[in-house]
Structure 1
Amino acid sequence: MDRFLSHATNRIDAKGRVSVPATFRAVLASRDIRELYCLQDFIFPAISCGGPDLLERYERQLAGMDPFSPEANRMSLLVHGGGVFMKLDPEGRLMVTDFIRAFTGITEEVTFVGRADHFQLWQPQAFHEAQATARSERGFSGPRSG
């Protein structure tokens, strides 16, 4: 499978690292992604992570704009000012930096959420609340009892 699907929650270790789920590492390997572009999501309190193609997608969009327009400047502020490059260590762990913690509220655990061509890092409760809201807005109220 060449997509990031599902979600998983992993604990942050004493050194501030978290193991990226094996299924997500397999997608990174199949796409030969060695360095992650990570940016603060535009809507959710989450960090979006993908390969260089994720940054290139945003930069193509920026290239189609007037570079002096307020919209292009806002977009660049988010894409470039809210983004960093990160690498996994040899064991497939990601350092949970202050950049990640401050934006997401992550403390002890990280929920990895597949988003097809990239994945996101969430504070677990925030993810569950956002997913419940999305279900509710789609008209799904949850399983019926009894």
Structure 2
Amino acid sequence: MARRFRGESVHKVDSKGRVSIPAPFRRVLEEGDPDWVSGGNPNLVLVYGRRGRNCLEGYSIRAMEEVDDLIAALPRYSREREILERMINTQSMYAQVDENGRMVLPAKLREMIGVTKDATFAGMGDKFQIWEPAAYKADMERIDDWLSDQTDDTDPFALLDRARLGG
């Protein structure tokens, strides 16, 4: 089983948009890049086209191939496939981790999510998210609000059983 992106951390963003990727995330990116060799720099894909998400999503090359396969399984000329291709393929870019464990966040993407001085990295299993820290905190508060609205006996981990059982 492949490693997963786990944990959260805040990293400084310099004036050129360079930001350190958490070391455990770099290991996942290395493992998920079929072209990576020891001593080399792994590649990744940054997706910025998800509507309603105030963050970027980073995928290893292999994880992005899985997403691409799901899109390709849709009928070739369907509207759904075209929409997903536009949101995922058109609004994404390749990036590379440099020899110092950093990547460059282009100005366009930093502006899109409001990142200036710091960026929060949040592991999400097969992907990770990059947030402006206050926006990440607000998103976590929305999750807390949702949990507060549930009955006392609601266990969100029970959703895992539902997923395992297919519904």
User: What's the counterpart of residue 5 of structure 1?
Assistant: 6
Highest CA radius of gyration, 1 or 2? 2
User: What's the counterpart of residue 39 of structure 1?
Assistant: 47
SS in 2 for 1:137: helix
User: What's the counterpart of residue 134 of structure 2?
Assistant: 125
Give unmatched runs, 5+ long, in structure 2.
Answer: 37-41, 150-167
SS in 2 for 1:80: helix
Which of 90, 105, 109 is the equivalent residue of 1:100? Answer: 109
User: What's the counterpart of residue 23 of structure 2?
Assistant: 22
Which of 75, 79, 104 is the equivalent residue of 2:84? Answer: 75
> How big is the shift at 1:29?
3.3
C-alpha separation in 2, matches of 1:26 and 1:36: 12
Contact kept, 8 Å, 2:29 with 2:43, in 1: the verdict is no
CA, structure 1 residues 120+41, in 2 after alignment: closer, same or farther (shift >3 Å)?
farther
SS in 1 for 2:148: coil
C-alpha separation in 2, matches of 1:53 and 1:128: 29
Q: Could you list the structure 1 runs, at least 4 aligned residues long, displaced by more than 6 angstroms after superposition.
A: none
TM-score, normalization by structure 2: 0.76
Amino acid at match of 1:80: N
The number of equivalent residue pairs is 141
C-alpha separation in 2, matches of 1:27 and 1:74: 29
C-alpha separation in 2, matches of 1:74 and 1:41: 11
Which of 62, 66, 69 is the equivalent residue of 1:53? Answer: 62
SS in 1 for 2:143: helix
